[in-house]
Amino acid sequence: MNDKMEFTGERFIPGTRGEIWVEHWHRYHFAARWVEGREVLDVACGEGYGTALLATRGATRVTGVDLSPQAVGHARSTYGSVPRTEFVEASCTKMPFADASFDLVVSFETLEHIESQREFVEEVARVLRPDGVFLLSCPNKLEYSDKRQFANEFHVKELYREELAALLSSRFPALQWYGQRPSFFSVIAPEGGGAAAGDLREVSESDPLEAQRALAHPLYFLLAASRTPAAIQALPPLVSVLSDRDDWVHKDYEKVMRDLGGAAKEREHAVKLVEERDKTIASMTRDVADYQRIQAELQAAIAQLKADHAREAARLADERERMLAERNSVIEAKDREIARRGGLRYWLKLPLYRFGILKHPPV
């Protein structure tokens, strides 16, 4: 089997660039505070990185479950050597474990990918011990999709807060809500670590004097759910910060912004080229219009000249005919005059010829 996995958008793969990296790693680091000395089930474990992380934090056993044979094969070959881990191929609504087998069930970004959400919650309740904790995450539909006008092609059914509360509270009446939102942040921490408490201050650039001690508009919900309040109260709420030691996400963001800046400059240059092209086309269009106008004027002038020429030719032809008619009339008159005069000379010369005065007969 080819157990190599590539990021498609459906499952997170370690090394995937962008804020998705801190989102997913933070959840498992957050969950690690519940695992010591417990038997843990990681439902929809995907590539297996989170199962392996939890196994290194003091859990007695961590079992990763996923529906994908490829994901399970990859997890076994990649993390199978991590102590106290095992990976099982199974559906999240029908898992091959006995009732009350686990102290902690974690399942991150699973609910929104399935239609049978209630069956999933029922199956978790079955395999979880009575005082166990169910830790899950899912998108906040209001912030994740509605406000961003975003649609994740792999999400089947996203939930609003009240829908998620109704789904969980039917089997897990004790709920502790957390919110998660990736953001750039400044961290102040004591040297050497070991802080006894956390402190959240969220401010807005538009009003930096006002600070709230709550995370507004969480993009994701994280819930610690249990049948007993004591199981939740054993680990009081805290603010959790996952700091990116290498600034990998921030540097990637800066690179993206630089690329976007370069793309913006290219778009600006392209816009200028388009504007220059449009100006050139407009100028050429005007030139063509002027040419067509001049050509039309020339054609009209030529037509006028041809009409004038035709009229002049007709006039000259008429004048020629008139002159020819006049000439012929004159010739005819001359001929008649000559004929008349020629006949008179004949009769005058005839007696002269008869009397011998003329030697030749008149013609």
- Cα dist from 5 to 65, 72, 332, whole Å: 16, 10, 121
> Does residue 263 have a pLDDT over 70?
no
Q: Name the residue ranges covered by the structural domains of the chain.
A: 20-183+212-243
Question: 180 — phi, psi (to 5°)?
Answer: -130, 135
pLDDT in tens, 23-55: 888 999 999 999 999 999 999 999 999 999 999
pLDDT at 112 over 70: yes
Task: State yes or no: pLDDT of 84 exceeds 90.
Answer: yes
Backbone angles phi, psi at 140, to 5 degrees: -85, 105
pLDDT tens column, 147-201: 999 999 999 999 999 999 999 999 999 999 999 988 877 777 777 777 777 878 8
Question: Residues 199-204: contacts with CB within 8 Å, 24+ apart?
Answer: 199/239, 200/239
Query: pLDDT value at position 1?
Result: 40
Instruction: Estimate to the nearest angstrom the gap between the alpha carbon of 134 and the chain centroid.
Output: 37
| The pLDDT of residue 262 | 64
User: For 299-310, what is the mean pLDDT?
Assistant: 90
What CATH number is given for 20-183+212-243 in this structure? 3.40.50.150
Which residue in 57, 53, 52, 58 sits closest to 37, CA to CA?
58
Confidence check: pLDDT of 142 > 70: yes
360: DSSP letter: S
Average pLDDT, the chain: 87
